[in-house]
């Protein structure tokens, strides 16, 4: 929701709520290495190690969109969704037919990032493409390997966004672990109309306190940004990056 929409609805008696999501912003990066070069040395090394470890068991990653979204691919992803959803949320709510309908009606706006070992798909994430952005949604797996979730949901999404010149990746709410992987906190806004006066007063009071908390948390998280700070340490960071490229 835009600021203008918030103001218009606020004037009409809606209650304003803020929340927080984590977005990766494309600062004109041409390659994933360009993105890594913008990070602090410690974060850059961590991401390189995680990506290496995630794929070390002979895992490869493929991007499926458009005509590549076959029923076999949806079968595999649905199995991931059900297995992981049952463990994390108790009862997955999307049906197998739902994914077929996506393939039939909006295949060019959907992206499956899938991991395979040998000839078998073992994990994947569904994303949607639109408005210059990649929107990450559900993830699932039937084999569990260290850092594979980060590779499929975060790093591959960044790779895809750079390759297709998208402006951002929206990784959704929650998960401060996304910060260390280049996804920064962004405040989101919503408006809600509550007709009952008593309930409205109680919710309004809560939302005021919640907005203050979201703002304070956002400031704290932004201070922990993984990106290099503009300071006298830039020369040292540049040398460390050169040493990494040289294999030191």
User: Is the predicted pLDDT of residue 88 greater than 80, yes or no?
Assistant: no
Alpha-carbon gap, residue 74 to 119, rounded angstroms: 16
Listing DSSP states for 213-241 in one string gives HHHHHHHHHHHT-SBPPSSTTHHHHHHHH
User: Is the predicted pLDDT of residue 247 greater than 80, yes or no?
Assistant: no
Strand partners, 116: 60, 121
pLDDT mean across residues, the chain: 91
Residues contacting residue 170 through CB under 8 Å, at least 6 positions apart? 21, 23, 133, 134, 135, 136
Would you place residue 87 in the very low, low, confident or very high pLDDT band (cuts 50, 70, 90)? confident
Closest CA to 127 of 82, 90, 174, 160: 160
Strand partners, 25: 168
Closest CA to 157 of 125, 179, 121, 130: 125
* CATH class of the domain defined by 47-185: alpha beta
Length of the chain: 248
225-244 pLDDT, tens digit per residue, is: 999 986 544 445 544 554 45
Listing DSSP states for 126-173 in one string gives EEEEETTEEEEEEEEESS--TTHHHIIIIIHHHHHHHHTT-SEEEEEE
Alpha-carbon gap, residue 183 to 186, rounded angstroms: 9
- Check residue 230 and give its pLDDT: 64
Cβ proximity of 129 and 111 under 8 Å = yes
The predicted model scores a pTM of: 0.86
107-144 pLDDT, tens digit per residue, is: 999 999 999 999 999 999 999 999 999 999 999 999 99
Residue 214 φ/ψ, nearest 5 degrees: -60, -40
Residue 29 φ/ψ, nearest 5 degrees: -70, 135
Half-sphere exposure of 197 (CA within 13 A, CB side): 0
Alpha-carbon gap, residue 192 to 15, rounded angstroms: 5
Between the CA of residue 161 and those of 105, 106, 135, 207, 213, what are the distances in Å? 22, 19, 10, 34, 31
Cβ atoms within 10 Å, residue 26: 19
Query: Which tokens is 206 given?
Result: 């809560």
39 DSSP 8-state letter? B
- Check residue 89 and give its pLDDT: 65
148-188 pLDDT, tens digit per residue, is: 999 999 999 999 999 999 999 998 777 788 999 999 999 99
First and final CA of the chain: distance in angstroms?
Answer: 47
Q: Where are the domains of the chain?
A: 1-20+187-217, 47-185
């Amino acid at each position: 929701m835009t600021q203008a929409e918030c103001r218009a609805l606020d004037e009409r008696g809606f209650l304003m709520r803020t929340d927080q999501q984590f977005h990766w912003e494309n600062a004109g990066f041409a390659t994933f290495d360009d993105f890594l070069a913008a990070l602090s040395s410690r974060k850059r090394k961590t991401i390189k190690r995680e990506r290496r470890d995630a794929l070390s068991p002979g895992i490869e990653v493929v991007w499926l969109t458009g005509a590549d979204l076959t029923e076999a691919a949806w079968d595999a992803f649905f199995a991931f969704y059900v297995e992981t959803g049952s463990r994390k949320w108790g009862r997955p709510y999307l049906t197998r037919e739902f994914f077929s309908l996506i393939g039939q009606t909006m295949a060019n706006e959907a992206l499956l990032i899938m991991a395979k070992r040998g000839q078998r798909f073992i994990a994947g994430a569904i994303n949607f493409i639109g408005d210059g952005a990649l929107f990450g949604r559900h993830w699932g797996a039937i084999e569990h390997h260290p850092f594979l979730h980060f590779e499929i949901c975060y790093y591959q999404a960044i790779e895809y966004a750079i390759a297709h010149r998208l402006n951002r990746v929206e990784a959704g709410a929650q998960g401060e672990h996304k910060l260390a992987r280049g996804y920064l906190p962004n405040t989101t806004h919503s408006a809600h109309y509550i007709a009952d006066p008593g309930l409205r007063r109680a919710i309004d009071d809560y939302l005021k306190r919640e907005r203050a908390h979201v703002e304070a948390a956002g400031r704290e998280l932004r201070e922990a940004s993984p990106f290099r700070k503009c300071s006298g340490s830039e020369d040292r960071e540049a040398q460390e990056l050169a040493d990494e490229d040289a294999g030191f």
